[in-house]
Structure 1
Amino acid sequence: MEPENATQIYKIFLLGISENSTLQPFLFGLFLFMYLVTVLGNLVIILLTVSDSHLHIPMYFFLSSLSFADIGFTSTSIPKMLVNIQIHSKVITYEGCIIQVYFFTLFGVLDSLLLTVMAYDCFLDICHPLHYMVIMNLRVCGLLVLVSWVTAALYSLLGSLMTLSLSFCTDLEIQQFLCEINELIQLACSNTFANDIVMYFAVVLLGGGPFAGILYSYAKIDSSISAISSAQGRYKAFSTCTSHISVVSLFYFTILGVYRSSSVSQNTQSTARASVMYSIITHMLNPFIYSLRNKDIMGALRRLSRGKP
């Protein structure tokens, strides 16, 4: 059969987490709750870092950028899934699928790069405290976030354009609740060699590279903390990084767990359920991780609730 042009695809089906009709109301309520908590929690972080002068430091500037990326990441897929559940449909248009691919990739890569920038910020704060404010000035902070955005946007654009070049032989059934590049590549009936090469390079450069940078930063941080003589000093230095370590661990280990389960398990619905961890739950928990054990954030929240600057 000759591959049809991508624009000739009539339907794309997002099969989602479960096809059990009796579970759909429960899933709708669950994912609506998680989405609202994610958006509200991250919006509070952004509001606090913008409005409270005590949080006008690099760490919280990067945190607010991460919160914005988390909102964007979950907003790429969850609203469409909720609409589909409500109208009892699994269909997404080809254009809508490509838009999901673009923004899902954009915010996923941006998350990875911003976590790396935050690790670098922790490294400078602990290992070079005397030069920290000189190195990490407003211009440098803005430049680091801008470079992260540009890098993520360019790769997302490349990935989306290469996805547009794929041809398919029939309507598509995606065993997920959102469109992903690797899912579309697997379903294509045209030559996907170039797409595979770009995706593998992206995994190494934009996934492995930032992760290696984070590990290097924390290796240096560990050496610096070990050199501190007092136990109180070591605890104080380490406590500044605990939230970031928790978020990084949650982000990377859930992704590794999902892709490991997809390569081992033949149950596609189990893989779809596992992907909820890194696509929704991780981003929902980030505001709580950064808030509950962070005195600055809790203090800013109390001042906001009392109407004090």
Structure 2
Amino acid sequence: MNSRTATTERVRPGVLLRQAPQRRSPPLRTRRQCSQLPHQPGRRARTQPSLRSRSPHISRARGSAQRRSLVTSWRFPPSSVAARNSRMSHLAEQLASLHARVRAAEQRASRPAGSVELLAVTKGVPAERIAEAIDAGQRAFGENRVQELEEKRAAVAQLRPGVEVRWDLIGPLQSNKLRRALVAADRISSVDRVELLARIGEISRADASARRILLQVNIDEDAAKSGFTPDALRVALPEIAAIISGAPLTIEGLLTVGRLTSNPAEARSTFSSFVAFSHSVREAASAQGLQIGPLISAGMSGDFELAIEEGATQVRLGSTLFGARG
């Protein structure tokens, strides 16, 4: 019997245990050290674990809040939030200033407060700015082009869901875009010929949908502008009455584009003539069984106060509210 056997026999069975070898984890390497290692195909370099994996004691709610904070700061950095708030504040101040000027013009003309509607013209204005105007209290908007009206109406509805606003189409309307316009607009304010009115009547009878319109008048008989001339509208009243009698259409009033002039006296003359014509043609239409509403849309950013003083009940303001278009 050798010495190893003797030693083993003196130990009770089950007592002799073989010590398991201890496995040591390799030291952690930094990213810089890992980048210096030779590349081994099929293996990924081990890097130091992230702070999140080494901090299990952080609660899930706290981690979610931290992630939301990071996302918010990435999407809306402090500088952009400050700029947006500044724009909103300026727009609200500008809108309040314009309403004050409208009220002052009403007072000068001895008209009751609130007798004039401010229509915000959104040509070239992005949907985000329109949403800011809604936040400031504006609810009536006018757009010149059918495609822009479609796009902006959909975008604003997503930005301010549940807020009811009115969209008027105030630009020239081509017959091939009429159906789209009737879907996108709450009111067509630029009906400038009998043929267009007749087509609107046909579509409205077919789909049994009530439509609101304004007749556009070229009060200065300017060849560069659209609209009925005063004489042409008077002559067309019987034909217009026949169209309206068989269709769910309402003519809520008249619209004109003022004379492009820097002379206030000339602009005032245009508005005075248009208001006088609106009253006279309404009486002539009523005698033929045709009802034309009292809305008189005239005056834009450069001359709206003169239009109000002469009797306009709606002014269309774009650049003076939103600023110069890019």
Higher strand share: 2
Higher helix share: 1
TM-score by length of 1: 0.26
TM-score by length of 2: 0.25
Structure whose CA Rg is larger: 2
